[in-house]
Structure 1
């Protein structure tokens, strides 16, 4: 079972428009509504694969009720932490060429009591899942150290923790020793405070995060695929280029695929050998997600792992298509 934690979930409304004209009255050609948030998306992809998942969420208000209902329909168990504020609603405008304009609401401000209750809820649920995936930005009221506290409490129960966040929340959590962190290239550059121009730069940055406490680093490099630095070694993988329909949630789908396949082995020489296979799964999930509308998560029938290429100890002089800056 994979448990996800999304401190700042949302209700995402996506409208398809012929073009985005500022100041005009736009007629939507289609619309959809989805439960949103990085951890929520991970749970949705995990449930679509037929794997049990529970989403721990701070929810209240009409939007919160609808999020829980939508997730239940998709096979996700929801453990809701009641809050006084209103769960936020986001709006996206999707154009035919794949351009997406998003308006994200600030979300509620959690009180100290709600923050502690959310942490304690995760701790009480942490004795059973294979993985805990803690994902996304922190809402107002939660300090950057919040994820570090969550990781520490979860590790006390023996659960393995994957963390997908950025900025101070990521760097503060490294000392708590998450088993996996999943930055994209700009987030990785920001974490080490230097630019990433080559694959070697990304490898060295990932190794630095490992030296600071991360058990493994799964880095999304955009058009350059994904990089995995873990106890088993260094692996780089790519999936065939596809026409991007929407990249919303693609990284979350990739994390789901990685965890569904077992994630990285716990230690070098463990004999698990799961890391390369998990990277293949992550790439297949990410490639499938970008071909789907909005934040729709892929199902196993959408995947093409046979098209994925993974290389151990890749050439470090490979220049990144889009260099990353802190």
Structure 2
């Protein structure tokens, strides 16, 4: 069972448009509504793959009630923590060439009491968990050290923990030695404070995160593939993608695939890339099922092409 923690969940609305024109009236060719937030997407991908997932998240108001309803409909066990503020609503606009424009709200401010209730709910439900996946930004009211405290508590309970966040929250959590961290190229560049132009640059940055405390680094490099840097070695993997329809939640699907496959080694990396490649070919934040996956198409190698220039170079913004 994979337990997910989403401190700042959302209700996500995705619109597909022929082209995005600033100041124009746009006619959507398709739209959908999904429960959102990085941890929520991990739970959805785990459930779509046929595994059990429990989603711990603060929920408030009508948007929060709808998020819980949508998650339950996907077979996910929802462990809501009631909060006074309304759950945020986000908007994504997807164009045919794969370009995605997102508008994300800040989310409700959590009180100290609500923060403690969230930690208590995680402790209660983590006893049966094989992994805890903590994902996304922290809402107003939670200090950057909140994830660090969560990692420490998880390890105290003997549970492995994967962390997908960025900035001060990531750096603060490294001291508690999370089992896996999953940055993208920009987040990796931000963590080391310099741009990343090649896959070799990304490998060096991942090694620095390991030196700072991460047991393993699963780095998403967009269309260029993914890296895994851990005690078992350094591996690079990629898969061909015919058409990118939406990259919303693709990184979260990758993390779900990695953890569902054991969370260690090249086989888990292969699963991560297969899940991510399948996700970008689906609309909105739809998560891939086993029928969508093509594990045979994924190439995994320990001969990392260090000099290859990244298509989407990491920038420490």
Structure 2 length-normalised TM: 0.97
Q: CA deviation at 1:198?
A: 2.0
Q: Residue 321 in 1 paired to residue 315 in 2?
A: no
| SS of equivalent residue, structure 1 residue 201 | helix
Residues 143 and 239 (structure 1 numbering): CA distance in 2 closer, same or farther, change over 3 Å?
same
Residues 198 and 23 (structure 1 numbering): CA distance in 2 closer, same or farther, change over 3 Å?
closer
Q: CA deviation at 1:205?
A: 1.1
Gaps of 5+ in 1: 265-274
- Tell me if structure 2 keeps the 8 A contact 1:178–1:215: yes
Gaps of 5+ in 2: none
Q: CA deviation at 1:75?
A: 0.6
| SS of equivalent residue, structure 1 residue 168 | helix
Q: Residue 305 in 1 paired to residue 295 in 2?
A: yes
Structure 2 CA distance for aligned equivalents of residues 98 and 325 of structure 1: 21
- Tell me if structure 2 keeps the 8 A contact 1:128–1:159: no
| SS of equivalent residue, structure 1 residue 126 | helix
Structure 1 length-normalised TM: 0.94
- Residue 268 of structure 1 corresponds to none
The number of equivalent residue pairs is 316
- Residue 90 of structure 1 corresponds to 90
Alignment of 1:83-162 (within 5 A): 83-162=83-162
- Residue 167 of structure 1 corresponds to 167
Residues 77-119 of structure 1 deviation map (CA, whole Å, 9 limit, x = unaligned)? 0000010000011122223333322221221010111111111
Structure 2 CA distance for aligned equivalents of residues 27 and 195 of structure 1: 38
Structure 2 CA distance for aligned equivalents of residues 188 and 249 of structure 1: 18
Greater shift, 27-36 or 48-57, is seen at: 27-36
Q: Residue 208 in 1 paired to residue 203 in 2?
A: no
- Residue 43 of structure 2 corresponds to 43
Q: Residue 76 in 1 paired to residue 76 in 2?
A: yes
- Give every structure 1 segment of 4 or more consecutive aligned residues whose post-TM-superposition deviation is greater than 4 Å: none
- Tell me if structure 2 keeps the 8 A contact 1:242–1:287: no
Structure 2 CA distance for aligned equivalents of residues 286 and 102 of structure 1: 19
Structure 1 CA distance for aligned equivalents of residues 190 and 21 of structure 2: 34
